[in-house]
Amino acid sequence: MDLQKKKCSLKEHADINANIYCKKCEIYMCSKCEIHHSKLFENHQNFIVNKNIEDLNDEFCQEETHHYYKLEYYCITHEKLCCAACIAKMKGKNNGQHSECKISYIEDIKEEKKNGIKKNIKLLEELSSKFNESFNEIKKIYDEINENKEKLKLKIQKIFTNIRNILNNREDELLDNINKEFENIYFKENIIKDIEKLPNKIKSSLEKCKNIDEMENNIYKLIKESAEIENNINIINNINTNITNIYKSINDEIKFIPEEYEMNEFIDSIKTFGKIRLMNKINGDNKFKSSSILKNDNDSFELITNWILGSIDEKEIKFELIFKMSKNGNKSEEFHKYCDDKGPTLTLVKTTKNKIFGGFTPLNWKNKGCGIKDPSNQTFIFSLNLKKKYNMINKKGNGIYCAYNFGPNFGCCDFDLKENMKNGETYANQYCNFLSNNNLELTGGKGERENFDTEELEVYKVIY
């Protein structure tokens, strides 16, 4: 708004244009009022009304103490404009806030600030451009993270929906089996209803049979009633048979297995099923560069890494090759020389039939005969051909077995390498800790045991 059009603040002069403004009093004055104002308030600074109010306000001190003086100085120390009261040597009455500072007249720094503005405009433009690029990149990353978050939610929902469907279907199946088992062992549910109706049917048949002489001349009726009587006799015989069977099986009890008290472990596993964990993305420089088993198989590297990270309570791991059969020898004593007491390790095995499998354990290998249990249940074995991980099914069993005349030996010989580690075998029987009965998926065989020939063996130290 143009202040030249402002009217005098005095009510009696409301129709007269104002030409003077007092910042301290915050009033507009005509020429007559200005004369009286100047006499009453000699220290007030009056300004000709020839600027917008915003520009006029910019010229006054903005200190919280409200000096109401025009800004004529620049505090270099605090990089802000000051008035005479701000730099007054005499402190008190809201004066002297910048009395000890380095002060300059605003005219003396005009060119410096002008050049600084030009320089900073260029810098601001560059920063703004970089900021826009960074913002777009952040926005892109945010969108990707949000997309991954939603994908993870859908994955969890899909898994649990599948679990619920399987449980519901299994429940329906078991409930149906209960009906079938009770009918097979005892009798069908509708037999009671049949028994309840039977006395009346028998009574009706007997009543009709009393008039058998009258039916002699009606062959159709005679045959019909004869069939009805025979049917009643069969029903009674069947009922008697069922009752006899019931008495025989009265000591039998149909039960649901497992019992409720045996379900605790299963229920606990459901309660703790699944984890939401933060895991660092796999470092591309941390692949099995020296591996001749995996070579450039990045998918297998990522799969193994995620398996291990999912088993241990860590976010990031690295691998250090500590043993390679083709380089360090094929004797079990060489394996123990390089691998004993190294902490967590990853074992990779490749057979002459191109089967690739292995195992991870946080336990230390030892050069003595002993089975070592893994209370953390972090030890597992795996097949890379099938991309399948095998957790411990016998949690009270050994995670690994150590002996001077064995190389790596997981579980209860679920798979092991012999003294000459070019020879190995895998087991699948009731004593195994990872593989189920007759499951030789590691080597692709069937039955309880299979020998294999080792083409290469590699052991890596896993560094958390």
DSSP letters, 119-176, are: HHHHHHHHHHHHHHHHHHHHHHHHHHHHHHHHHHHHHHHHHHHHHHHHHHHHHHHHHH
413-424 in b/e burial notation, b at 16+ Cβ within 10 A? bbbbbbeebbeb
Lookup: tokens for 52? 């917008």
3-state SS class at 454: strand
All residue ranges of the chain with pLDDT < 70 are 1-4, 45, 50-58, 62-68, 185-192, 194, 205, 208-217, 246-252, 277-287, 438
pLDDT at 41 (0 to 100): 86
Distances (CA, A) of 315 to 210, 275, 307, 318, 414: 93, 13, 12, 11, 29
3-state SS class at 400: strand
Instruction: Please answer whether residues 379 and 363 qualify as being in contact, where contact means their C-beta atoms are separated by less than 8 angstroms.
Output: yes
Phi and psi, residue 176, nearest 5°: -65, -40
Distance CA 70, CA 83 (A): 6
pLDDT at 333 (0 to 100): 95
pLDDT at 289 (0 to 100): 75
pLDDT at 2 (0 to 100): 45
Lookup: tokens for 51? 């600027």
**CA angle, residues 300, 306, 311, in degrees to nearest 5:** 130
pLDDT at 1 (0 to 100): 38
Cβ within 8 Å of residue 443, ≥6 positions away = 351, 353, 355, 357, 415, 426, 450, 452
- With 0-12 / 13-18 / 19 or more C-beta atoms within 10 angstroms meaning exposed / middle / buried, residue 211 is exposed
- Give start and end residues of each alpha helix (H) in 249-392: 264-271, 298-311, 325-328, 332-339
Distances (CA, A) of 54 to 3, 57, 389: 10, 5, 73
Distance CA 123, CA 176 (A): 78
Nearest to 448 by CA among 458, 436, 459, 460: 436
pLDDT at 79 (0 to 100): 86
Element (H, E) at 21: strand 20-22
Angle between helices 191-209 and 219-248 (to 10 degrees): 140
Distance CA 56, CA 320 (A): 73
Which residue carries 């009906």 as its tokens?
179
**DSSP code, position 4:** G
**DSSP code, position 63:** -
CA dihedral 211, 214, 218, 224 (to 10 degrees): 10
